[in-house]
Amino acid sequence: MEFEALIKKYKDVVDKRLESFFDREIRLTSDQFMRTNYLFLREFVLRGGKRLRPIAAIMAYIAINGRDDEKIFLPAIGAELFHASSLIHDDIMDEDDLRRGKQTMHNKFSNWFLKQYGEKEYAGKLFNKWSKRFGVSMAIIQGNMLYSLGESCLTNSDFDDKVIREALSICNNAYKTVNEGQVLDILLALKRNIKEKDYFDMALKKTAKLFSASIEVGAVLANATISQRKALTDYASNSAITFQIQDDIMDINAKMQKGHDIGSDIRKGKYTLLIIKALELANKDEKEKLIKILGKENSTKDEINTVIKILDNTGAIAYSRKIALGKIKEGKNFLKKADLTKEGLDFFNSFADYMINREI
């Protein structure tokens, strides 16, 4: 089966399994407010997404043992719940209003509170309105719940206890690492003279770790050898770095769609590989303009275009693209050592190509 057909097939499977998963949780919950919690989680997770992590887990399982076995589907959706958990917390830290074109979780709960109780002044140390305090508090809890639900997808699966314990260990380690990556991401905005190493350290932890963990869980449940697991996780880490770099490039390309205005990362002051390299290569005038506009939330379209022009003129875009291509090549070399089925090898080679060629 071709790559696109496999992606569609298993995305449909994952979406249906997620629907059933949340419908069951809602059905088993008698408390009205807890039902609201699960309804909000259901809507948040199902509102969109490419489902790359659960699909990668499924295909890693198939690529090792050659069987399309339904029992991998429940652990696979756990990867999506883990991912959604991190998105909820990420939105709080970034103070974002929208996720995939709809309200972030903290905004959903803030608005729920306003409809139920109206606004209430609150003389707190962190918040001055009850709706904000309630929304952020509930969203933190929702993110925690999703991680717990993700683990339950492993513990309630039909696999042997030994591989389930190993898979849980992988998930726990990934959860810690992703949080370390989030710490580094926040600190990047405060540092000066940021280097490429700082960016890659952050991206490996925040972006790559969950992707590689998803693949490794699929491989472990298929009883992969240590060498197969290492080859797959090395492949995944390199491919995920490419995914992040392409994500950064998409943010400054009007023809590519990320679900928000062009230059969002620039307005947020994010030190992407593009920005880091441009600051290194820019002349004095270009550097002053970059520093002045970077992190300016109300930047005009002309100011964003000025930054994009500097990124292009300094060669930062071409450089980032070159790095991404190198990561794909490196990842594919690791893949050769994984001893996969032909279908699995073809799929993950195409998956790597998708990481750098995607436009959404």
The per-residue pLDDT for range 122-150, each reduced to its tens digit, is 889 999 999 999 999 999 999 999 999 99
Q: What is the pLDDT of residue 358?
A: 85
The per-residue pLDDT for range 66-114, each reduced to its tens digit, is 998 999 999 999 999 999 999 999 999 999 999 999 999 999 999 999 9
Query: Is residue 257 scored above 70 in pLDDT?
Result: no
Quote the percentage of the chain above a pLDDT of 90.
Answer: 91
Lowest-pLDDT range of 29-33, 178-182, 188-192, 277-281: 188-192
Query: Is residue 201 scored above 90 in pLDDT?
Result: yes
Banded model confidence at residue 3, pLDDT cuts 50, 70, 90: very high
Q: Rounded to whole angstroms, what are the CA distances from 8 to 50, 214, 346, 353? A: 10, 18, 16, 17
The per-residue pLDDT for range 20-68, each reduced to its tens digit, is 999 999 999 999 999 999 999 999 999 999 999 999 999 999 999 999 8
Query: Is residue 166 scored above 80 in pLDDT?
Result: yes
The per-residue pLDDT for range 274-306, each reduced to its tens digit, is 999 999 999 999 999 999 999 999 999 999 999
The whole-number average pLDDT for the span 232-257 is: 92
Q: What is the pLDDT of residue 164?
A: 98
Banded model confidence at residue 255, pLDDT cuts 50, 70, 90: confident
Domains of the chain: 1-162 (1.10.600.10)
